[in-house]
Chain A
Amino acid sequence: MAESDNIVVETAEKIFADLADPQTINNDKRDSWRAPLWQALSEAGLPLSWVPDDLGGSGASLADGFALLNAAGRFAVAVPLAETMLAGWLLAQAKVASPEGEMTVLPASPKDRITLDANGALSGRCRGVPFAKAAKHFAVLAHGEDGAMIALVDASKGRIESGLNVGYDHSDTVTLDKVQPVTIKPAPKAFDQTTLMLMGGVARSLQIAGALESMLDISVRYSNERVAFEKKISKFQAVQHNLARLAGESAAALAAATSAADAIANAKSFDDEVYLEAASAKIRCAEAAEKGGGIAHQVHGAIGFTMEHILHRYSLRALAWRDDFGSESHWAVELGRLVANRGADELWPLVASR
C-alpha cells in the first residue's frame, strides 16, 4: 500500500493490515473480525480523530483525518470509522462532547430533514443512514425555529429499518418520532445541512479514491499473473490500455478528493471555493468508481465476479459510497445551478481560484 507520511495514517495502516486484511475478512463468514478491529481502532483514538481533547477525542487535524479516510478506503474498511469520525466532527461544531462507541450521522441525504419542535423533541425520517444499526449514538443536524441545531441522540430511541447498500454494508432508514436528545446545542453561524453534506461527500470521496487505488493495485498484479493465449494478459495491448485508463480514473479520483480535503482543511468557512472542490470531488469520484470499477472487473474476468475474490469488497463499496451525502446527480444539479447563477463570465475565475 502507499507509503504514509503521518503518524495517524501509519497507526491506522498497521491496524488495518493486522485486523482488516480484505482476504481474511472475505473468508470469515461469521463477522468475528469486527469486534477486535473496532476495539483496536478505538484504543488508538482513531474514530474520534476530529474531536478535540476537551470533548473526549484525540484532536487530530482535519488533514490527518482525511488521510486516514483515504487509507480506510484502500482497505475497504467495513466498520463505521468514517461515520463515527463525521459524527464526532459534527458534535464538536456545537461543542457537544462525543461518547464512546460507534456513531453515525443524520441525515445522510440532502433530501431528508430532522425537525426540532417546541418541546425540544426531534422528529424526521432519514434514509440510507450508513451503519445506523451498529451505532450506539446518532449525531443529528436538526432544524428548529431558531435555526440549525446539533444534537446527540441515543440510538435506541430511534426506529431503525434495516437495509443493505450495494456493497452489503448496513444502510438503514432511521425514524425519530418526538425523541428527546441527550444533548442539543445551536449549530455555529452559517452551518447548515449543505455544510454537513459537503463534509460527508468529501469523506466518501477519499474512501472511493482509496478503493480505486487498491483496485488498480490488484488489477495490475492479477494481469501480471494470469496467463491466457499463452501470454500474461498484461502483455496484451488492449489490457494495457484498459489499465492505463483505470490508472487515470484512480489518479483523477485521488486528485479530486485530496484537493477538496486540502481546501476544507485550509479554509475559514465553507465558501464557494470549498463548495466547488467538495461537489466536484463527489461527482468525479463517483464517475471514477463506475468507470474504474468496470475496468477492474473486466481485467479480472469471471474470478473477480465471485464472492471468494476480494475485488467486490472495493468495487461494490465504491459504487455504494456514491449514494451517501448526495449522489453525483444531486451535486451536479446543485453545482450547475451555482455556476449558472453566477454567470458565464464568472465560471473561469471560479475554476481558477487556486
Chain B
Amino acid sequence: MTAALRFDPIRLPETCEQLRKEVRAFLAEEIAAGTFDPHKPNREDTDAPEFSRRVGAKGWLGMTWPKKYGGQERSFLERYVVTEEMRVANAPTRRFFVADRQSGPVLLKYAPEHIKMEILPRICRGEICFAIGMSEPNSGSDLFAAKTRAAKTDGGYLINGTKIWTSSAHIADYMIAIFRTSQPTKENRRHGLTQFLVKMRQPGIKVNPIGQITGQYEFNEVVFTDFFVPDDHVLGEVDGAWKQATSELAYERSGPERFLETYYVLTELVRAVGPNPDTRSAEGIGRLVAQLHTMRRMSVSVAGMLHAGKEPVVEASIVKDIGTVWEQQLPHRVRDLAAFVEETATNRETLERQLDFAIKTAPKLTIQGGTTEVLRGIIARGLGLR
C-alpha cells in the first residue's frame, strides 16, 4: 500500500499548441487595440463586457460543452491552454470566468433542459456574468453553518438571508447559490442544503459592495428579502447540494489560475535584472521558475485526469495548496530580489507598481476557493487520516 499520489506527465496534444498560438495572437491584438494593459493588473475596468463578447465569438467560452448549447465540444486540455494564456496576459476575464469554469458545468449537469437552452448559449457568447453564493456572514468555509433559508411556497421558494464575499455580484446576471431548505439531521449534518439558480437584479435582492484591501471593489454582500425563486430553478436534488458542490471543486482548485495570479511580477523581475543577472538574482529566478514549472506540470496532469473523466479531488487540493502558497509568496520573493535591481532599469516603475498591488493581493490567495486549512483536511482524508 502506498499513500503516494501520482501525477502522470501528461503532454498537451498538438491541437493545443495551435490553439495557444491563436489565443496569443488574439490577446496581442486586444492589447494593441488598448482593451487592457498586461502590465497593469490593478485596473478598474475589469468587467470589460465587449472583451467577453469577442472571446465568446472566438469560441473560447463553454469550449467543452455540447454544441447544441453553444459549446464547441473541444477538450478540457484545450480549455486549459486558453485559461493559462488569458491569465498570463492579465486579460480582463472576470466577467466570464466563473460562468465558464463553474456555473455552466453545474447547469449542464443539474438544470432542466429549457433553462440550459436559454442560458448556456448566452454564456458561450460572453453575454452574461455569474456569481457564486456560498459563504454567509459568520460561516465562510463552514458551509454547514449556512442559514439563508429557502422556504417552500406555491410554485417555488422564498429566500431570506444574506450571502457574503460574493465576487462579481454587482455585475452578475445570475448567481448559483446554496440555500437551506431543511435542517441538518443527526445522522447527516450535510443534509438540508439545496443549490438554486438565482436571477439577479430583481426586487428582493440588494447588492452591497465591500471594499478590499487592494482598493478594489470585487466582492459583495447580497441580501435576500422574500425573494422568489421558481421550482424549475432548483439545481439537482433538494437537500442534497453538499455532494454536488464538492464534486465540482476539482475544476475550481487545480487550474492554472490557482498559481498564476501574481505571475506578472516574475516576468517584470526578469525584465528588470536584464540578460546578465548577478548570482543572487539568477539563483532566485531559477528557483522560482523550477517551482512554477513543477506546479504547472502537476496542474496539467490534473487537467489530464479530468479530461479522462476522473474526479481527482485530493490531487486538485494538493495543486491548489502548493499553488496558492507559492503565488502568495511570489511577490515577497520578487521584492527580495528586486532590492538590488538597478535604479536605471527601464521597467523599474512598472515593477514597483506591480509589487505594490501583488503584495496587497497576496493575503486572499490562500483563502479564495477553499482555505489552505480546508484543503489540507481534504488531503489528510485522502491519506486515510480522518
Listed in ascending order, the chain A residues whose CB lies under 8 Å from chain B are: 1-2, 213, 216-217, 220, 223-224, 234-235, 237, 239-241, 243-245, 247-248, 250-252, 254-256, 258-259, 261-263, 276-277, 279-281, 283-284, 287, 328-329, 331-337, 339-341, 343-345, 347-348, 351-352, 354
Contacts and interface: CB of A to CB of B under 8 A. Distances in A.
Majority-rule SS of B interface residues: helix
Given A244-B321, A245-B376, A354-B12, A331 B286 contact: yes
B245 interface: no
Contacts of B385: 220, 223-224, 234-235, 239-240, 243
A277 B293 contact: yes
Contact of B277 (A245, A252, A337): A337
Interface string B259-280: 0000100111011011111010
B338 to A, nearest CB: 13
Contacts of B270: 339-340, 343-344, 347
A351 B12 CA distance: 13
Interface string B12-41: 100000001000000000000000000000
B2 A213 contact: yes
Interface in B285-339: 285-287, 289-298, 301, 315, 318, 321-322
Nearest to B282: A336
A280 B271 contact: no
Given A2-B2, A340-B273, A284 B281 contact: no
B383 A244 contact: yes
A284 B383 CA distance: 22
Interface in B34-70: none
Contacts, number: 189
Nearest to A282: B290
Contact of A251 (B273, B298, B384): B298
A343 B287 CA distance: 16
A336 B285 contact: yes
Contacts of B211: none
The 6 closest A-B pairs by CB, nearest first: A336-B282, A332-B286, A336-B286, A344-B271, A240-B380, A335-B286
Nearest to A242: B376
B3 A224 contact: no
B294 A216 contact: no
Contacts of A234: 385-386
B215 interface: no
A241 B319 CA distance: 15
Contacts of A348: 88, 263, 267
A340 B277 contact: yes
28 contacts: A217-B2, A220-B385, A224-B384, A235-B386, A240-B376, A241-B373, A247-B3, A250-B4, A250-B5, A251-B7, A251-B315, A251-B318, A254-B4, A254-B6, A261-B9, A329-B283, A332-B286, A336-B283, A336-B284, A336-B286, A337-B277, A339-B285, A344-B270, A345-B267, A347-B270, A351-B296, A354-B11, A354-B12
Contacts of A328: 287
A255 B297 contact: yes
Given A252-B298, A255-B297, A351-B296, A283 B290 contact: yes
Contact of B293 (A280, A329, A344): A280
B23 to A, nearest CB: 11
Contacts of B301: 255
A1 B3 CA distance: 9
B379 A333 contact: no
Interface in B357-386: 373, 375-377, 379-380, 382-386
Nearest to A344: B271
Contacts of A284: 290-291, 293-294
A216 B383 CA distance: 9
A351 B292 contact: yes
A284 B286 CA distance: 10
A152 B12 CA distance: 40
A284 B294 CA distance: 7
Interface string B86-121: 001000000000000000000000000000000000
B73 interface: no
Contacts of A279: 286, 290
B290 A332 contact: yes
Contact of B294 (A1, A252, A332): A252
Given A332-B282, A339-B289, A351-B293, A247 B267 contact: no
Given A252-B298, A280-B289, 10 more contacts: A217-B4, A223-B385, A235-B385, A237-B377, A256-B290, A256-B297, A262-B11, A283-B286, A337-B282, A340-B270
A283 B285 CA distance: 12
A235 B386 CA distance: 7
B8 interface: yes
Contacts of B382: 247
Interface in B70-95: 84-85, 88
A217 B295 contact: no
A351 B266 CA distance: 13
A258 B88 contact: no
Contacts of A352: 20, 84-85, 88, 296
Question: Which of B20, B281, B297 has the most chain A CB atoms inside 10 A of its CB?
Answer: B297
A2 B284 CA distance: 34
Contacts of B291: 283-284, 287
